[in-house]
A = this chain, B = another copy of it.
């Protein structure tokens, strides 16, 4: 098999993704956060407030899935992002998720703006690229789950938990309006691939005249 992000230790892979996403403009300033499971019960997540193009492997916290406790700060000054709650919700709900990637893209925000006020999903264009989410249908009708943005991130995490406990999403991704997407996958490489794929689809939807 080809070279893969999964050949790297989780934090080394996340550092590489952070540089890549920053260079593409998907983690402007210190925006976004990336995580990967260390084992069934813990995940590494990027510390808050550092520029994502300059991370190293010490800029992470180890978080317990069960209760969100920080098991390891690595550097004493590392602080968790409020959005850690969203990652924890996803790892709790989806035992097969090994990595969660959250970034900010202008065109993702623009695509979500086209959904009606209050809509709980954004219909994804039935283009070939959607197969990257393992959607194998001729004219798929698949919605990207949409959530409202709140200043209090715990509210977003709670809304995600409530909705997904009732029924899981058709894709391993969600979008918070005026904010950005989070994509997860059964491996680091899958999460990375699907982040690229969602970006492609949303860029299309932001610009399409259809």
Q: Is the interface of A mostly helix, strand, loop or mixed?
A: loop
The 10 closest A-B pairs by CB, nearest first: A2-B50, A29-B193, A128-B179, A3-B54, A28-B196, A29-B132, A29-B197, A127-B178, A28-B200, A138-B151
**Cβ contacts A180-200/B at 8 Å (1 or 0 each):** 100000000100111011011
In the assembly, what is the distance between CA of A196 and CA of B24, in Å?
12
Compute how far the CA of A93 lies from the CA of B114 in the bound complex, rounded to whole angstroms: 42
Q: A69 to chain B: which residues have CB within 8 Å?
A: none
- A208 at interface by CB-CB < 8 Å: yes
CB-nearest residue of chain B relative to A50?
A: B2
Q: How many copies does the complex hold?
A: 4
Q: What residues on B are CB-neighbors of A104 within 8 Å?
A: 128-129, 200
Which of A37-45, A84-92, A105-113, A166-174 forms contacts with chain B?
Answer: A105-113
Q: Say whether, besides A128-B178, A151-B137, A179-B128, A106 and B200 are in contact (CB < 8 Å).
A: yes
Complex interface bits, A113-130 against B, C-beta within 8 A gives 1, otherwise 0: 110000000000111110
A4–B54 touching, CB < 8 Å: yes
Q: Does A25 reach chain B (CB closer than 8 Å)?
A: yes
Chain B residue nearest to A2 (CB atoms) is B50
Smallest CB separation, A53 vs chain B (Å): 9
Residue of A2, A176, A180, A189 contacting most chain B CB atoms (<10 Å): A2
